[in-house]
Amino acid sequence: RAWIYRRDDDFVGAEREFRASAEFCSENSVWRLNAGHVLFMQGDKYKESAAFYEPIVRQHNDDIMSVPAAVLANLCVSYIMTFQNEEAEELMRKVEKAEELKGNMGKQYHHLCIVNLVVGTLYCAKSNYEFGLSRIAHALDGGNGARLYADTWLHVKRCVLGLLTGMAKQNIILPYPAVQEVLNFLKSCEVYGLFTPANIYAATDEVPAEPLTIGLEARKLRLLLIKLSEYEQ
């Protein structure tokens, strides 16, 4: 029944069902994982969601790459939102170290990329675009790596559009060095994403004759940022 509530984005109703089944299911790892997700999605129960995520991470402390990336990302956000920045940084360092080690063994993981994308998006949502976009750029190797594709680009353009909207309304002023960093990042996305589709289409969707690419969208965003920056100056 909790799944039905969650499917309809009724996370309060889903939480009620999880609490009703806690006596019988609380030791089940899948139950704890989904309970954590339901609490996290409510947006004001980060401390409670962290209490469900932390045992999952501790259980796989020797192989943190076996923990789903979404759990690591949500736990980092939960730490940040409850002013536990040191714990968030420590977790990110642990993920980075483990990912490097696995990379040296020829295995590819995107856990750190996903964590940085989620954390960067969070900071952008809090109007800290300077730090948020730097996290996102770091997640995508500055826009010049294999991590730049439609799914990850969606995070980029949402945050950049939020920045542009704030600048157009004169609610946000970004320091000149930060503007240059964003411009350089978008330039890299423009070059390396020139032939990469910007959107994912379902089988039932009508695909345009000439679908937009990441490169084309990045160019438009970069030109808008240049115009707004010139206006502010």
Q: Which fold has domain 1-109?
A: 1.25.40
Per-residue confidence (pLDDT) for residue 4, from 0 to 100: 47
Residue with the two structure tokens 């990045």: 218
Whether the per-residue pLDDT at 157 is higher than 90: the answer is yes
Question: Per-residue pLDDT tens for 21-76?
Answer: 666 766 777 878 888 888 888 888 899 999 989 999 998 888 899 999 999 999 99
One-letter amino acid of 132: G
For the chain, domain boundaries? 1-109, 112-233
Question: What pLDDT was estimated at residue 213?
Answer: 93
Nearest to 80, CA basis, from 70, 68, 92, 69: 92
pLDDT at 6 over 60: no
Task: Work out the mean pLDDT of the chain and round it to a whole number.
Answer: 85
Angle (deg, nearest 10), helices 150-168 and 111-125: 20
Residue 27: per-residue pLDDT = 73
What is the arithmetic mean of pLDDT over 157-186? 93
What integer is the mean pLDDT of 187-201?
88
Structure tokens at 149: 């594709």
Give the mean model confidence (pLDDT) for residues 164-179: 92
Residues with Cβ within 8 Å of residue 192, at least 6 apart in sequence: 143, 144, 145, 148, 215
Name the token pair of 88. 């968030």
Closest CA to 17 of 4, 33, 30, 8: 4
Work out the percent of the chain whose per-residue pLDDT is above 90. 48
| Ranges 166-175, 183-192, 205-214: which has the least confidence | 205-214
If you compute the radius of gyration of the chain from its CA atoms, what whole number of angstroms results?
A: 20
Helix (H, G, I), strand (E, B) or coil at 213: strand
- The pLDDT, as a whole number, for residue 88 is 93
- Cβ atoms within 10 Å, residue 15: 20
Model confidence at 232, pLDDT cuts 50, 70, 90, reads: low
